[in-house]
C-alpha cells in the first residue's frame, strides 16, 4: 500500500510546485486586433505586440460595464491579465479610447513622394499611420502600391509596386487585403507582416456585384463596405459580412443614410474603428463647380441606426477639401484623402494624395 501512496504524494507535490511557480501577469497596451472566432487578442505594448488566447470564462469590462469579446475594438486602451505559462487571458479591462491630443492648427500637406507616374490615389493607412497602401499608375494600368514611414513627421519610403489592382483596403493586422482587379472584388493574404502578399484571387460570391468601387474592410476583417450601382440613386453603400476570415461573404445589404433631401451621390466611404462614424465624398456637380467642400462626416448611435447629422469637413483659411476616399488615422490625428491636382496635356485628370495634419475628428461628430 505504501508503495502506491508515496509516488502519488510525490507527484502531487510536484504538481503543486508547478502551480506555485505559475503567475498571473497584468499588462497595459492598445488593442491591435481581436479574432472573436478564434478567441485571440493582439495587444501592442511598450515591449512590442503580444498575441494571446482568450479563456472562455474571461471577465471583460468596457468602461466599467460587462461586455463580450465582440465589443473589443482596435485602438482601445486595455489592461489585461493572463496566465504566464499557458498564455491564456483571464481578465480584460478597457477604458475609453482617446485620440492623441491635437497640437496646433490643421495643416494641408501633399504626400508627393507617393506619386507613381502621374497619379496617386485611394490611400488606405494602417491603424498606427506608418504603412500606406494606394493606387498608382503604370504603363499597363492601375497597380497597388505600399510604403512605410518612421513616424508621422517623416516621408514615406521603400515604395513598392505590388500587383495589378485598384482601391486596396487592408485589415488592421495587415494580413489580408481586398481590392478590385478588372472591376471585380479580389482578396489576397500573407501569414506575417515581413512576408509578401500572395497573388490576388477572385471573391466568387461577390463577383456579380454591379459596378463595385471603394471597398472598405472593418478592422477585424468580418465586415466589408463598398459602393455599388443602384438603379434608383445611381450609387449606394452596402455591407457584406462573414463569420470568420475563412467563411464566405453574405449577400450585401443596404447601409441606410438619412439624407434629409440631400441631392447627389455619396461615394468613397470609410468608417471609424467603432463603425459609428462614416466619412465619404458628396459628388454633386454643383458643389464641385462652385469650389465647395465635398468631404463629409456622418454619425450614428448604433450599428442598427441610419447614418445622419452630416457635416462638411472645412477649416478657416484652408482651401476647400474637394476630393475622394477620406481616411482618418486616430493614432496620428491625420486625415488622408485623394485630391485633384490638375490635368495632363491630353486633358486627363491627375490625382494626388494629401493629408490634413492635426485633424480633430471629434469636432465634426458632436
What does the pLDDT look like over 131-173, one tens digit per residue?
A: 999 998 766 788 999 999 999 999 999 999 999 999 999 999 9
Q: Which residue's C-alpha cell is 450585401? A: 252
Q: In the chain, pLDDT over 70 holds for what percent of residues?
A: 88
Phi-psi region for residue 31, left (φ > 0), alpha (ψ -120 to 50) or beta?
Answer: beta
Here the cell at position 273 is 474603428
Banded pLDDT at 333 (limits 50, 70, 90): very high
Alpha carbons 198 and 163: distance in angstroms, whole number: 10
The confidence score (pLDDT) of residue 269 equals 93
- What's 244's DSSP letter? S
The confidence score (pLDDT) of residue 3 equals 46
Q: Which domains does the chain have, with CATH numbers?
A: 24-94 (2.40.50.320), 107-364 (2.120.10.30)
User: What does the DSSP assignment read for 271-338?
Assistant: E-TTS-EEEEEEE-HHHHHTT---EEEEE-SSTTSPBEEEEE---TTS----EEEEEEETTTTEEEEE
- What's 365's DSSP letter? T
Q: What is the 3-state secondary structure (H, E, C) of 180-238?
A: EECCEEEEEECCCCCCCCCCCEECHHHCCCCCCEEEEECCCCCEEEEEEEECCCEEEEE
Does the structure show a pLDDT above 60 at 302?
Answer: yes
Across 16-25, 147-156, 344-353, least confident range: 16-25
pTM: 0.73
What does the pLDDT look like over 52-98, one tens digit per residue?
A: 999 888 889 887 778 888 778 777 888 888 887 788 888 998 875 44
Residue 201 near residue 194 (C-beta atoms within 8 A)? no
Does the structure show a pLDDT above 50 at 23?
Answer: yes
Alpha carbons 11 and 22: distance in angstroms, whole number: 17
State the Rg of the chain over Cα. Answer: 23
Alpha carbons 270 and 262: distance in angstroms, whole number: 19
Alpha carbons 105 and 333: distance in angstroms, whole number: 12
Average pLDDT, the chain: 85
Q: Which residue's C-alpha cell is 486616430? A: 330
Alpha carbons 81 and 149: distance in angstroms, whole number: 32
Here the cell at position 154 is 517623416
Banded pLDDT at 191 (limits 50, 70, 90): very high
CB count within 10 Å of CB 34 equals 25
Across 2-11, 22-31, 239-248, 327-336, least confident range: 2-11
Count of all residues that appear for the chain in the document: 366
* Bridge partners (DSSP) listed for residue 356: 108, 335
Mean pLDDT of the 216-243 span: 89
Amino acid at each position: 500500500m505504501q508503495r502506491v501512496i508515496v509516488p502519488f504524494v510525490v507527484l502531487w507535490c510536484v504538481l503543486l510546485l508547478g502551480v506555485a511557480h505559475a503567475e498571473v501577469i497584468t499588462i497595459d497596451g492598445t488593442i491591435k486586433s481581436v479574432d472573436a472566432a478564434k478567441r485571440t487578442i493582439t495587444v501592442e505594448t511598450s515591449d512590442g505586440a503580444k498575441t494571446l488566447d482568450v479563456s472562455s470564462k474571461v471577465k471583460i469590462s468596457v468602461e466599467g460595464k460587462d461586455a463580450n469579446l465582440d465589443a473589443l475594438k482596435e485602438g482601445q486602451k486595455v489592461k489585461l491579465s493572463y496566465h504566464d505559462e499557458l498564455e491564456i487571458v483571464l481578465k480584460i479591462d478597457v477604458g475609453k479610447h482617446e485620440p492623441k491630443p491635437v497640437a496646433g492648427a490643421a495643416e494641408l500637406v501633399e504626400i508627393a513622394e507617393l506619386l507613381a507616374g502621374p497619379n496617386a490615389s485611394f490611400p488606405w493607412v494602417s491603424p498606427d499611420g506608418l504603412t500606406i497602401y494606394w493606387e498608382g499608375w503604370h504603363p499597363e494600368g492601375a497597380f497597388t502600391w505600399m510604403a512605410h514611414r518612421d513616424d508621422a513627421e517623416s516621408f514615406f519610403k521603400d515604395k513598392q509596386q505590388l500587383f495589378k489592382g485598384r482601391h486596396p483596403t487592408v485589415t488592421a493586422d495587415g494580413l489580408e487585403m481586398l481590392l478590385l482587379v478588372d472591376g471585380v472584388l479580389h482578396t489576397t493574404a500573407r501569414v506575417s507582416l515581413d512576408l509578401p502578399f500572395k497573388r490576388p484571387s477572385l471573391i466568387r460570391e461577390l463577383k456579380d456585384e454591379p459596378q463595385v468601387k471603394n471597398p472598405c474592410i472593418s478592422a477585424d476583417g468580418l465586415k466589408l463596405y463598398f459602393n455599388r450601382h443602384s438603379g434608383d440613386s445611381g450609387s449606394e453603400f452596402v455591407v457584406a459580412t462573414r463569420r470568420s476570415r475563412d467563411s464566405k461573404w453574405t449577400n450585401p445589404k443596404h447601409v441606410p443614410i438619412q439624407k434629409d433631401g440631400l441631392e447627389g451621390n455619396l461615394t468613397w466611404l470609410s468608417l471609424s474603428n467603432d463603425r459609428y462614424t462614416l466619412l465619404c465624398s458628396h459628388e454633386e456637380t454643383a458643389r464641385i463647380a462652385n469650389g465647395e467642400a465635398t468631404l463629409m462626416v456622418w454619425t450614428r448611435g448604433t450599428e442598427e441606426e441610419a447614418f445622419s447629422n452630416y457635416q462638411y469637413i472645412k477649416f478657416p483659411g484652408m482651401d476647400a477639401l474637394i476630393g475622394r476616399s477620406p481616411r482618418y488615422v486616430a493614432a496620428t490625428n491625420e486625415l488622408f484623402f485623394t485630391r485633384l491636382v490638375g490635368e495632363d496635356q491630353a486633358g486627363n485628370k491627375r490625382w494626388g494624395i494629401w493629408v490634413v495634419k492635426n485633424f480633430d475628428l471629434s469636432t465634426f461628430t458632436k
